[in-house]
Structure 1
Amino acid sequence: MDYRRIKRILFVNVFINCIFISLQNKEEVLLDMVESGGELGWLTWPDEDGWEIGQQAVNGSLLYNYFICNVEAREQDNWLRTTFIQRPPTATRVFVEMRFVVRDCNSFGADSLTCKETFNLHASEADADIGTSFRKGQFRKVATIAPDEVSSIGDMRINVETRVVENLARKGFYLAFQDIGACVAVYSVKVYYKMCPATVKSLAGFPETVAGGENQALREVAGACVENAESEEQPRIYCTMDGEWVVPVGQCQCRRGYEAVGSACQECKPGFFKAIVSSEACEPCPKNTQPSGPGALSCPCQEGFFRALEDPLTAACSGLPSPPRNLMATTAQIAVGKLQLSWSPPLDTGGRTDITYSVVCERCDGSACQPCGEKVRYEPSSTDLKGASVAVSELEPHLNYTFTVEARSGVSCLSSHRATSTINTALHYTDPPKVTGMHLVDNSPTSLSLSWSVSRRAKPIATRYELMYRKKEKDEERRSEKVTTYTVLVLEKNSVHISDLTPSTVYLFKVQALGPEGHPGSHSVEQEFSTLPEGNTAVILGAVLGGAAMLFIVAVVLLLRKRRRNTHTRQGPEDAYFSSPEQLKPLKTYVDPHTYEDPNMAVLKFASEIHPSHITKQKVIGAGEFGEVFRGILKIPGRKEAAVAIKTLKPGYTEKQRQDFLSEASIMGQFSHPNIIHLEGVVTKFKHAMIITEYMENGALDRYLKDHDGEMSSFQLVGMLRGIAAGMKYLSDMSYVHRDLAARNILVNSNLECKVSDFGLSRVLEDEPEGTYTTSGGKIPIRWTAPEAIAYRKFTSASDVWSFGIVMWEVMAFGERPYWDMSNHEVMKAINEAFRLPAPMDCPSAVYQLMLQCWQQDRSKRPRFQDIVSLLDKLLKSPDSLKTIADFDPRVSIRLPSTSGSDGSPFRTVTEWLESIKMSQYSDNFSMAGIVSMEQVLQMKSEDIRNIGVRLPGHLKRIAYSILGLKDQTSTLSVFAV
Structure 2
Amino acid sequence: MDYLAVLIPLIIGLTNLQSISSEEVTILDTTQATSDLGWTASGTGWTELTNHDETDADLRTFQVCHIRSPHQNNWLKTNFINVTTTQRVYVEIKFTIRSCDGIRGVVSCKETFNLYYLESNHKNDRRSLRLNEDTYTKVDTIAADERFKPDTRVEANTETRMISPIRSRGLYIAFQDTGACMSIMHVRVYYKSCQETLRGLAIFPPTVSGPMMTSLVDVPGQCVPNSATMKNTKAPSLHCNGEGEWLVPTGSCSCNPGYEPNNQLTECNQCSVGRFKHEVGNVPCQPCPARSFNVNFASTMCMCISGYYRSPGDRPDAPCTRTPSKPSTLESSVNKTSVKLTWVEPRKSGGRTDITYSVTCERCDATYTLCSRCGEGADFIPGRTRLTKGSLLVRDLAPHTDYKFKVYSFNGVSGVSGLRPAFAEIRIRTNQAAPSAVQPVRVVMATSAEVLLQWSPPRYSSNPILDYQIQYSSIHGLFTNVTTKTTYKLSNLSPSTSYIVQVRARSKVGYGLYSRASAFRTKPVKSSTAHYVLTNPHGASVDIDGGNDNMVHDTTVKPSSNHNRLVVAVCVACSFLVITLCALLILCGRRNRYAKAVESDLEKYPGFINSSVDLLSTRTYVDPSTYEDPYNAVKEFAKEIDFKLVNIEQVIGRGEFGEVCKGTFFNKCVAIKTLKVGYNTQERSDFLGEASIMGQFDHPNVIRLEGVVTKSRPLMIITEFMENGSLDAFLRNQEGKIPSAQLTEMLLSIAQGMEYLSNMGYVHRDLAARNILVNSNLVCKVSDFGLSRVLEQLEEDDVAMYTTRGGMIPIRWTSPEAITMRTFSTSSDVWSFGIVMWEVMSFGERPYWEMSNQDVVQFVDSGYRLPPPCYCPRIIHSVMLECWKRDRTQRPNFSHLVTLLDRFLLEADCLTDTINNRPFRDQDDCIPEMLDLSSLGQWLEQMHMLKYKQTMMRHGCVTAEQIIRLTASGLAHMGFSDMNDVNTVLREADLLRQKIEEVGNVGVAV
Relative contact order higher in (CA < 8 Å, ≥ 6 apart): 1
Per the shorter chain, which TM-score range? Answer: 0.3 to 0.5
- What TM-score, normalized to structure 1? 0.37
- What TM-score, normalized to structure 2? 0.36
